[in-house]
Amino acid sequence: MIPRRYLPTLPSLLALEALDRLGTASAAAEELALTQGAVSRQLQVLEAQLGIPLFTRDARRLTLTPAARDFVAEARKALKMITDASLTLRANPQGGALNLAILPAFGMHWLAPRLARFAQAHPEVTVNLSTRLRPFDFAETQFDAAIHYGRQDWPGVSFLKLMDEDIIAVAAPRFLAAPLPRAEAILDHPLLQLDSRTGDWGRWLAHHGQPGLRPPAMLFDQYATMAQAAIHGLGLALLPTFLIQADLAAGRLIPAYGPPVRALGAYYLVWPEARPERAPLASFRQWLAQTP
């Protein structure tokens, strides 16, 4: 049970947050559609409840103490969670929203083409998608689940493996007229790679009998931009086969050397172990487990 005596009222929190963000009680009052006196009373109520001074006062304005600014930063996270919950309720008043964090390339090229089938099978579930590139703390977000690439190394979550990943070295035909004669010939060309996978070229070379090398490369934070850089002739790229099937078929990219290679990681659906599983997540997880 939450100790009620430590739980500020929503009007007092809104007044404090607005004062911190806008700088003056008059500006906070205007935004909240209150009088300046009403805002001041809410702030006084909050100080009395917490039992510590939150402001320094002079003749012209209130200034938050350093401790109060830290408190506002945490309270603002809670207010955002309440706002997000309200938006979710409005979007699906019958319940059944699933908030899913996705990786952009996987979400666009693997998940999105399949979601229509899930929507047909489960019209009671509204799927909300948002991009996250790296693992995060589920306790600090509204996400029910996430798409994770790598190993089973995300603490505190359960895993459902979705697929392995095969990568292939490719280039634009104007950059590389024909496949390279040997794997180590990539070292004579500019290389492209993800900033989260800086060892990929080294592992690729080791797979082809050239261990111990870690060539430098231009870094990208997403596959989509790296693929476009390769298409426009910036260098050789290691890209997942599921991402570039259309580009290979259309001739915008060509294999630089050898067939696809199995990547070190795989794609997983992950969800927090400590949180009770909601029906929308259970439906989505069971559907993914049966989806090729």
CATH 3.40.190.290 holds for 104-292: yes
Q: SS3 for 34? A: coil
Q: Which two tokens stand for residue 196?
A: 């989260």
List the structure tokens of 185: 């010939």
Who wins on pLDDT, 93 or 108? 108
Q: Is the pLDDT of residue 254 over 70?
A: yes
State mean pLDDT over 258-277. 94
DSSP 263-288: EEEEEEEEEESSSPPPHHHHHHHHHH
Max mean pLDDT among 23-37, 61-75, 191-205 falls in: 191-205
Q: Do residues 100 and 138 touch, judged by C-beta distance below 8 A?
A: no
Give dist(CA 228, CA 217) in Å, integer: 16
Burial (CB count within 10 angstroms: exposed 0-12, middle 13-18, buried 19+), residue 86? exposed
Q: How distant, in Å, are the alpha carbons of 113, 229, 265, 274 from that of 162?
A: 15, 28, 11, 22
pLDDT at 205 over 70: yes
Architecture of domain 4-91: Orthogonal Bundle (1.10)
Q: How many residues does the chain have?
A: 292
Q: Is 185 exposed, middle or buried (0-12, 13-18, 19+ CB in 10 A)?
A: middle
* pLDDT bucket at 58, cuts 50 / 70 / 90: confident
What was the pLDDT predicted at 23? 87
Let me know if the fold of 4-91 is the same as that of 104-292.
no
Look up residue 234 and give its amino acid. L
Looking at mean pLDDT, say which of 95-99, 119-123, 189-193 comes out highest.
Answer: 189-193
Q: Which token pair is 169?
A: 């070295």
Give the whole-angstrom CA distance, residue 69 versus residue 39: 17
Q: Domain ranges in the chain?
A: 4-91, 104-292
Q: How many whole angstroms separate alpha carbon 23 and alpha carbon 109?
A: 45
Mean pLDDT check: name the lowest of 22-31, 156-165, 193-202. 22-31
For residue 51, the model assigns a pLDDT of: 87
